[in-house]
Structure 1
Amino acid sequence: MRRLYSFVTGVIAIVAILALAMFFMEKQTSSQSDTKSLVIYNWGDYIAPELLTKFEKQTGIDIQYETFDSNEAMYTKVEQGGTRYDIAVPSDYMIDKMIQDNLLVKLNKSKITGLNHIGSEFMNKSFDPGNTYSIPYFWGTVGIVYNDKMIDSPPQHWSDLWRQEYRDNIMLVDGAREVMGLGLNSLGYSLNSKDMSQLNQASDKLSHLTPNVKAIVGDEMKGYLIHGDAAIGVTFSGEAREMLDANPHLHYVLPSEGSNLWFDNLVIPKTVKNKEGAYAFINFMLEPENAAQNAEYIGYTTPNVEAKARLPESITADKAFYPSDDLIAKLEVYNNLGQKWLGTYNDLYLQFKMYRH
C-alpha cells in the first residue's frame, strides 16, 4: 500500500514538474514572439506601406497592422485591455482622455532619438504638456474645399458659407466639434468655448445655414466633391489634399480668422508587449527621410522640420496646407471639454442635424 502511495505521489510530482516546465517554455516562447513582432493600431491607409516593409527589414521585427475608424473605437479596444497593441495613433483630445484614464505608458525620452527634428510649435500642447506620453506624427487643419467650376465667388471666410448663392451646395463633415467650431469661429469665439451664451449664438447661426447644406457626411465626401456632386465641403486638410490631387478644379482654403489645429500622435498603450520595438518604431518614423516619404504618400502635413525640407516645393509652398506662423498662432487645438460640456456640444449639434430635416 505504501509502495502504491509512493508511486502515485511520484507520478503526481513528475506531472507537476512537466507542467511547470511547459509553462515556462511557453512563457519564454511567448516572450520571444513578443519581441519579434510589433502590433500597430492606426487609422486606415495612414502610413506608406513601403515604410512598414523597410522597418521589418532593418529590425527583423514583424509588423501586425490593425486599423480603426474613430478615436472612440480605438479607445474602447485599448481600455478593454484584452488585445495587444504596442503602438497607437490617437488624436489630441483622445490622448488627453487616455492619459487621464491611465491607458498610456510614460515615454522614456532617453530611448528616443530624432525628437529634435520636430518643430517646437508642435510640441508641448495642452493635451500632453511636455510630450510626456506622445510624439507628433501628423497635423492638419479644418477648412473649406471649393470647386472653381461650380461657383463664381470662392469662400475665403467661415461667414461666407451663409451666402445665398451656395444654397443646397455645401457638404459638412459629420462632427460635433467641427460644425460647432465653424459656427463659433464665424462669430470670433473660441473652439473650446464653455460660455453657454456663445454656444447658443453659434447654434442659432448654424440653424440659418441649413438651406445651404446639401448633406452631412463622412469619408464619402471625397468622392462627392471629386465628382462635382457639391461645390463646397468643410473637411480636414488631409482629406482635402486627396481631393485636390484627384480634381484640379478643387481648392482648399484655411480661413484667416482661425480654425482647428489637430494632431495625430504616436503613443505606447498600456497593452504593450514589445516596448523596445515600440521605441524602435518611433525612432524610425522620426528619421527625416522616412517622415518625408510618409508625408508625400499620405498627403498630410508633417511636423518634422527636416522632413518638410525634403518635400517638393509644390507641396510646401501651398500656404493652405503649410500655413504661416502668424496663421498657425490663430489656430486652436480641441481641448478635452469634459463629459458635461462635450454633451452640450453634441446636443446642440444633434439639434442642428435634426433641424435640417
Structure 2
Amino acid sequence: MRMRLGIILLISALILAGCGSGKARGVGGKEVLNVFNWAEYLPTKIIEDFEEETGIKVNYGTYSSNEEMYAKLTTGKNQYDLAVASLYYIEILIKEGLLEEIDKESVPNIKNIGEEFLGSDADPNDEYSVPYLWGDEVIVINTDLVKTDVTSFKDLLDPQFENSLLVLDDSRSMLGVGLEVLGYSSNSREESEIVEAGEWLKKLKPNIRIFESDNAKSHLISGEVKGAIVFGAEANLAIRENPALKIVYPEEYFSLWQDNFVIPKGAKNKENALKFINFILRPEVSKEIVLEYPYSNPNVEAVKLLPEDIKKEIMIPEKERERGIHAVDVGKATVIYDRVWTDLKQ
C-alpha cells in the first residue's frame, strides 16, 4: 500500500513539474510555436525546414489586415507567440503594453538587417520589433484592356473602369489615397478630412469590382479587372504571368510600408519565437522567401544572394522611395477611419 501511494505521489509530482515548465507543448509533449502572419507571406517550405531543424511544431495562422491582427491580439486570450505587424500598428501595440521586449542577443542574425530599416519612429530603440519585409502600394494597369495613359489615382475615376477595378481591402491604405488626392495628409486626424476622403472613394466605388488584399494577382492575370491598387509583390507576381500588366507609381501619393516581427505580451513560447526570428533572418532563408513572394527585403545579405532579375523586380526606384510616406498611428482618429470605411463598403 505504501509503495502504491509512493508511486502515485511520484507521478503527481512529475505531472506538476511538467505543468510548471513555462513552455506550452503540443501533442506528445512536442514543443510548439504559434505564429500569426499575413496570408501569402511565408512559404510553407520555410516552416517545414524550421520544424525539421529544431523539432518545434509551428501552428500557423493568417490574417488579411492589421485590424484583424490587432483584434486577435487584444482579446485577452492571446494564443500567439509571434506575429507580424506594420509599423503604425507596432506603435499602437507598444503604447498599449501588448508586446514583449525582444532579447537581441538571442537574434544575432539581426546583423543582416540594413541600418535604414532599424530605429523606426514606431520603435526607435528596436526593443519590441525586428524587420521582416517591406514594400509599396502601386497602381497596376492591363494595357491590353486600357488604351489611355494612367498616371494618377484620379485617372481611375474614368468611366472606362466601371466595375473593373480591384483595390486593397484596407482602410488606411484606401482612405490614405482619398486624403492625398484631396491635398490632405494620408495620416490626417481631422474628422472632416477623413469623411471627405470617404466621399471621394464613393465616387470611385462604381468602378470598384473587388476589395482584395491577399490574392489580387489571380484577378489581374485572368483579365477579370482592368486595373488595381495593390501591394508591390502582388503586382510583380501578376506581371510574371501577364506581361500586358504595367506598374504605375501614382503622381499624387506613394505609400510605403514595413512589416516587423513582434512577440505578443504573455507569449508562452517566447524562446521558440526568438529561434524562429533568427532562422528567418539567415540570408539563405530570407532569400527563399523573396523568391516566392517578391517583396522588398530589409535583409541586405539576403538581397546579395538574389538573382539579378529578382533584384530588379523588387527594386523600388530611388526617386519614388524619397517621396514615399509611411502610415503612422493616428490615435483616436482610428475610430473615424473604421467608421468611414465601414460606411463605404456597405
**How far apart, in 2, do the equivalents of 1:72 and 1:186 lie?**
24
Q: After superposing the two structures, state which structure 1 stretch, 270-279 or 211-220, moved more.
A: 211-220
Does residue 349 of structure 1 match 2:335? no
Amino acid at match of 2:120: K
Identify the match of residue 317 of structure 2 among 324, 327, 340.
324
SS in 2 for 1:143: strand
1:65/1:348 CA distance change after superposition, 3 Å: closer
Give per-residue Cα distances to partners, 1:87-120, cap 9 Å, x unaligned.
Answer: 2112223222222222211112222212232222
Tell me how far 1:294 sits from its aligned partner. Answer: 0.9
Amino acid at match of 2:282: E
Q: After superposing the two structures, state which structure 1 stretch, 196-205 or 54-63, moved more.
A: 196-205
**How far apart, in 1, do the equivalents of 2:68 and 2:279 lie?**
27
SS in 2 for 1:89: strand
Q: Is the 8 A contact 1:81 1:271 kept in 2?
A: no
Q: After superposing the two structures, state which structure 1 stretch, 92-101 or 20-29, moved more.
A: 20-29
Does residue 222 of structure 1 match 2:217? yes
Q: Is the 8 A contact 2:138 2:250 kept in 1?
A: yes
Q: Is the 8 A contact 1:258 1:327 kept in 2?
A: no
Give per-residue Cα distances to partners, 1:11-70, cap 9 Å, x unaligned.
Answer: 9x9799558524434326774848833222223342122222322333333323233344
* Structure 1 unpaired stretches of 5+: 1-6
- TM-score if structure 1 supplies the norm length? 0.83
1:31/1:164 CA distance change after superposition, 3 Å: closer
Amino acid at match of 1:326: K
**How far apart, in 2, do the equivalents of 1:185 and 1:295 lie?**
30
1:166/1:37 CA distance change after superposition, 3 Å: closer
Identify the match of residue 242 of structure 2 among 229, 242, 247.
247
SS in 1 for 2:67: helix
**How far apart, in 2, do the equivalents of 1:21 and 1:352 lie?**
59
1:256/1:287 CA distance change after superposition, 3 Å: farther
SS in 2 for 1:104: coil
**How far apart, in 2, do the equivalents of 1:54 and 1:172 lie?**
34
Aligned pairs (5 A) from 1:1-357: 17=9, 21-27=13-19, 31=23, 33=25, 36-196=31-191, 198-219=193-214, 221-318=216-313, 321-339=314-332, 341-353=333-345
Give per-residue Cα distances to partners, 1:298-331, cap 9 Å, x unaligned.
Answer: 222211112112212222223xx42133322322
**How far apart, in 2, do the equivalents of 1:187 and 1:324 lie?**
25
1:168/1:83 CA distance change after superposition, 3 Å: closer
Q: Is the 8 A contact 2:22 2:268 kept in 1?
A: no
Amino acid at match of 1:191: S
Q: Is the 8 A contact 2:87 2:260 kept in 1?
A: yes
**How far apart, in 2, do the equivalents of 1:32 and 1:171 lie?**
42
1:106/1:257 CA distance change after superposition, 3 Å: same
Q: After superposing the two structures, state which structure 1 stretch, 164-173 or 305-314, moved more.
A: 164-173
Q: Is the 8 A contact 2:24 2:268 kept in 1?
A: no
**How far apart, in 2, do the equivalents of 1:87 and 1:14 lie?**
41
Tell me how far 1:82 sits from its aligned partner. Answer: 3.6
Q: Which residue of 2 aligns with 1:4?
A: none
Give per-residue Cα distances to partners, 1:140-175, cap 9 Å, x unaligned.
Answer: 211111111001124222232233443443222222
1:291/1:167 CA distance change after superposition, 3 Å: same
1:300/1:81 CA distance change after superposition, 3 Å: same
1:312/1:68 CA distance change after superposition, 3 Å: same
Give per-residue Cα distances to partners, 1:159-197, cap 9 Å, x unaligned.
Answer: 322334434432222222222111222234321012455
SS in 2 for 1:283: helix
Q: Is the 8 A contact 2:30 2:55 kept in 1?
A: no
**How far apart, in 2, do the equivalents of 1:297 and 1:195 lie?**
40
SS in 1 for 2:37: strand
Q: Is the 8 A contact 2:82 2:264 kept in 1?
A: yes
Q: After superposing the two structures, state which structure 1 stretch, 219-228 or 306-315, moved more.
A: 219-228
**How far apart, in 1, do the equivalents of 2:329 and 2:237 lie?**
29
Tell me how far 1:123 sits from its aligned partner. Answer: 2.1
1:28/1:198 CA distance change after superposition, 3 Å: closer
- TM-score if structure 2 supplies the norm length? 0.85
Q: Is the 8 A contact 1:35 1:274 kept in 2?
A: no
